[in-house]
Amino acid sequence: MSAIYIAGIALCSVLAQWVAWAFKVPAILFLLLTGLLLGPASSILDPDALLGDLLFPVVSLSVAVILFEGSLTLHFKELKGIGKVVRNLCSIGMIATCIIISLSAYWILELNWRVAAVLGAVLVVTGPTVIAPLLNSMRPTQDIDRILRWEGIVIDPIGALFAVLVFEAVMLVGQGEVFVHTLIALFKTLGVGLSIGVVAGWLTTLLIRREWLPFELHKFGILALVLISFTISNHLSHESGLLAVTVFGIWLANQDDLEIDSVLEFKEDLSMILISTLFILLAARLQLSDLMMLDGDVFIFLAVVLFIARPVCIAISTFGSDLPLKSRLVLGWIAPRGIVAAAVGSVFALSMMEAGVADAEKIVPLIFTVIIITVVLQSLTAIPVAKLLGVRQPSPNTILIIGANHVARAIAKGLNDQSIPVHLSDPAWENCKMARMDGLPCYYGNPQSEHAERYLPLTTIRSVLALSPNRHHNALGVQYFSHLLNEKNVFSLRSSTNHAKANKDSATFLSRQILFGDNGAYARLSSLIAKGGKVSATRISEEFSWEQYQEMNNEAIPLFILHGEKDSDDSPIKVRPFTINMEKLPQEGERIVALQPPKMSVLKDPNNGKTKEPKE
């Protein structure tokens, strides 16, 4: 019977994630709803009866993996460049938020002081999994978008680490005869957690660099080390394991030339599985009696969280900065709580209940209440607030190019020369490096990954061009972005003319828009560029029609039609790629961006014998 329940949880997790994907909202909402329906609402699922004594270890180990994955994204060099405001948000702002929420929980809800302190520490964490989908639909100005994204990324591991330290401190108070004994116990916990984390990080780095661990075992090996580090640290000093795995992840993230991209991708997938399962289990554990014991004072507490704690945090963090008042008001409103808060808070609640701390059973219901209210309320009001304050960006106008190979770079430079903003993406570091040397922004990694959702400027992307020579990379990108941006804004390049029929007939490319006509396969473009072909623009006019252009440039491969002027601030330039079975032909006044063959890419100047690029 247990197998049926476990399989059912897996199925419900997938369905909840799929519904969230379909509606383009944070998955946490549907995961919580699923857990509440299976647990308190229908009593179909009882996690305590299903897992018994394994419940606490399963939750604890899952949280350890989630925190480890989050800490793998915290690079110190990036922390230095994210600005004063974000640093303040993740330091003095975080502490101010914790103090305000803790005091309000102690005075308004009359909770045990230990529970109030832990609750305040846990609720400082926002997290990228709830921030990213909200920002993608909200499209705020660059300063707001940048601050909120980086706050979510950085405060995820730092806030969790802060919560762990607060939990350790409040649980150790009073265990010794005097204050000195309590400090000794706290430093013991910190010392064990830090030591185990550093040793695990050093050992993993050594295993990978010396190639003592084969590549195919990197993912499984590091997962095993995370679990064993967490367990050993907890054994040596109670509840120090979360600190150990967080330090472990930060250590790996900040090692130069350590190839852990495959590990991070694996951990992202594993974290999604664990988060989905964990949320359903934790929400199902809630009892109607737990929810009923939250009286009317909870609404006052929520008002403090929404209208006092966050605005004060922003006021302190932005003090002395040149951030406009409108941006500060938006930042003071947007702070949805997410997965890390619920997961870490649940572990602390279980530990405190085992220790017999009064009011510990109220932690989880309160955290879930804050999560539901902040996510729902702020998701519904984010766009109206941004419009009201005039901080919503205009329609996206950036073209994302999947691939940073020499073909993609040549096309990107051609578009960039015509004042079309572009952003490239490639999992090959050499290609990214070459693109950046050409002055083209490039994301290093797969654009459909969770990591890309944090680092790519998705709010500014209007259309996607899949220009990778790898058909499978193109197919994944097309499938992913067709949902996000609408299928009509996503285009794909064929790898070669030999693959034309396969591309047209395959399920992935069915109804997709194939770029650059019958002669526009990657192999053909690559050959022309390798021989010296150049991407240039020509204007269609009354004196020089589209038919005349074709006659004079019969060997050129038309790429795009541009409508609008470079220097116009009134409206962005509209870009229409040439595609197979293209209906609307270039009109008078529009520009044709084309790849000219080598003999057409330069013209001879009879006056001085030098060569120059052709003019429009």
Residue ranges and CATH numbers for the domains of the chain are 2-389 (1.20.1530.20), 398-612 (3.40.50.720)
Indicate the SS3 state at residue 591.
Answer: strand
In angstroms, rounded to a whole number, what is the distance separating the alpha carbons of residues 602 and 104?
72
Q: Which two tokens stand for residue 227?
A: 């679990």
Residue 95 burial class via C-beta count within 10 angstroms: exposed 0-12, middle 13-18, buried 19 and up: middle
Per-residue pLDDT reduced to its tens digit, 293-302: 667 788 999 9
Which residues have a Cβ under 8 Å from the Cβ of 475 and sit 6 or more positions away?
A: 466, 492, 506, 508, 509
Indicate the SS3 state at residue 558.
Answer: strand
Mean pLDDT within 100-126: 92
Question: Is the pLDDT reported for residue 110 higher than 50?
Answer: yes
- The more confident residue out of 192 and 24 is 192
Mean pLDDT within 408-419: 89
Question: Is the pLDDT reported for residue 160 higher than 60?
Answer: yes
Per-residue pLDDT reduced to its tens digit, 538-578: 888 888 888 888 888 888 888 888 887 765 555 678 888 88
Residue 41: CB atoms within 10 Å = 13
Residue 488: CB atoms within 10 Å = 9
The one-character DSSP state at 392 is B
* The pLDDT of residue 612: 41
- pTM beyond 0.85: no
In angstroms, rounded to a whole number, what is the distance separating the alpha carbons of residues 45 and 7?
12
**H or E element that contains 113:** helix 113-122
* The pLDDT of residue 615: 43
Per-residue pLDDT reduced to its tens digit, 8-45: 888 998 998 888 877 777 777 888 889 889 988 888 88
Long-range contacts of 49-57 (CB under 8 A, 24+ apart): 50/2, 50/5, 50/6, 51/281, 55/281, 55/350, 56/350, 56/354
Question: Is the pLDDT reported for residue 227 higher than 90?
Answer: yes
Indicate the SS3 state at residue 563.
Answer: strand
Mean pLDDT within 463-470: 88
Q: Which of 339-348, 559-568, 594-603 has the highest mean pLDDT?
A: 339-348
Lowest mean pLDDT among 162-176, 189-203, 325-339, 439-453: 162-176
